[in-house]
């Protein structure tokens, strides 16, 4: 389910939004700008329960457009009940934890774990995952993506962590499926560039 879900969700979606530490109002506004630019995928990190109202608000706004919203920074199995109740369609973690992966699979929730080494990629593959989050992508670099695509051609990456719009083309050329952006959606000129990238995808 996880692979099939992300195959569809990230199809011709070179960019996604990750909106951390925002109020519900600010997150919805940023999500609306992303959606208006053609970006379908939005993630709301829930590193604390204080972020759950924001997740719920963005989920509700996305539902009006028929769009899914994910919950990020899932670092504990206990978070699944909260994010599921809030309406998250998928979950994202900064690292790879087998218990979290199994908990997601048991609940039928597509999960995107973070990886930064070949060993973590191998472990994720053994757990049945083919979409992984390269984190922190700005530190790993586009060359890391290109190198990992060699031995793992069946794995697709989402580049997350410190990413800026100007860096996106290099990562996409290296083989990532999607690049995650944050405050770029607050800038009118950047949104125009994002809209162009989405139309050309």
Is 1 a residue whose pLDDT tops 80?
no
For the chain, what are the domain ranges?
2-195
- Which pLDDT value is given to residue 45? 98
pLDDT in tens, 148-194: 999 999 999 999 999 999 999 999 999 999 999 999 999 999 999 99
The CATH architecture to which 2-195 belongs is Alpha-Beta Barrel (3.20)
Q: Where residue 29 falls among pLDDT bands split at 50, 70, 90?
A: very high
Active-site residue (options: 32, 43, 120, 189): 43
32 given a catalytic annotation: no
The pTM score is 0.96
Q: What is the tens place of the pLDDT at every residue in 34-54?
A: 999 999 999 999 999 999 999
Spatial separation of the C-alpha atoms in residues 74 and 92, rounded to whole Å: 6
- Reported as a single tens digit per residue, the pLDDT across 179-190 is 999 999 999 999
CB neighbour class for 151 (10 Å; exposed up to 12, middle 13-18, buried from 19): exposed
The question of whether 189 is a catalytic residue gets the answer no
Catalytic residue (one of 82, 133, 189, 192):
133
């Amino acid at each position: 389910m996880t692979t099939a879900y992300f195959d569809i969700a990230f199809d011709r979606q070179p960019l996604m939004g990750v909106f951390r530490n925002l109020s519900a109002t600010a997150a919805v506004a940023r999500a609306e700008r992303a959606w208006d630019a053609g970006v379908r995928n939005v993630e709301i990190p829930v590193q604390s329960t204080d972020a759950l109202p924001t997740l719920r608000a963005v989920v509700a706004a996305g539902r009006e457009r028929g769009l899914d919203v994910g919950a990020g920074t899932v670092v504990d199995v206990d978070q699944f009940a909260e994010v599921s109740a809030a309406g998250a369609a998928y979950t994202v973690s900064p690292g790879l934890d087998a218990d979290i992966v199994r908990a997601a699979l048991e609940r039928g929730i597509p999960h995107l774990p973070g990886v930064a080494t070949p060993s973590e990629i191998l472990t994720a593959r053994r757990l049945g995952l083919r979409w992984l989050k390269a984190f922190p992508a700005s530190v790993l670099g586009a060359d890391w993506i290109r190198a990992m695509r060699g031995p793992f051609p069946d794995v697709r990456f989402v580049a997350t962590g410190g990413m800026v719009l100007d860096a996106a083309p290099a990562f996409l050329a290296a083989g990532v499926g999607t690049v995650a952006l944050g405050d770029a959606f607050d800038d009118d000129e950047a949104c125009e560039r994002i809209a162009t990238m989405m139309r050309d995808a």
